[in-house]
Amino acid sequence: MKNLRILLFFVTFWVIMPYQTFSQSFSFAYSGPTTVTVPFGSSSTGATYYFQYYQQGTLIRPRLTIELDGNLLTQGICEGADSYLPSSYVITFTPGNHTVKFTLSDLGQHSGDCAQATIW
């Protein structure tokens, strides 16, 4: 029985392994303020965020999307034909509490269209 298990392991390894897809890695780091103060007498102020990207493997149209309070500030994942990986971005804030969302995505090596984007 033990020999049969070992044989099944090797058969599984040699039959299945060539067909596995190994994942790629794509990540980013950002820096910028977590609190922004609108100066007295002003209706808004800008805050700059800086980005660094770390990637391995082939990427197809990688894109960073930025949202402020649920409103898209950059082109969406499926918009535009080019990659969009800015090194910095200025967001204009008004008085109040806000939510900023950064989403890193890529169409991936095997995606047929933009609906299959990988969100990193």
- pLDDT tens digits for 28-76? 899 999 999 999 999 999 999 999 988 766 777 888 999 999 999 998 7
The mean predicted confidence, pLDDT, of the chain is 76
Residue 79's pLDDT band, with cuts at 50, 70 and 90, is confident
Task: State residue 17's pLDDT score.
Answer: 35
Task: State residue 82's pLDDT score.
Answer: 78
Q: DSSP readout, 1-14? A: -HHHHHHHHHHHHH
Closest CA to 66 of 38, 92, 94, 45: 92
Q: Which phi and psi angles does 2 have, rounded to 5°?
A: -65, -40
- CA distances to 39, 73, 80, 82 from 107, rounded to whole Å, are 41, 20, 12, 11
pLDDT above 90 covers a percentage of the chain that reads 42
Dihedral sign, CA of 6, 11, 16, 18? positive
- Tell me which amino acid residue 40 is: F
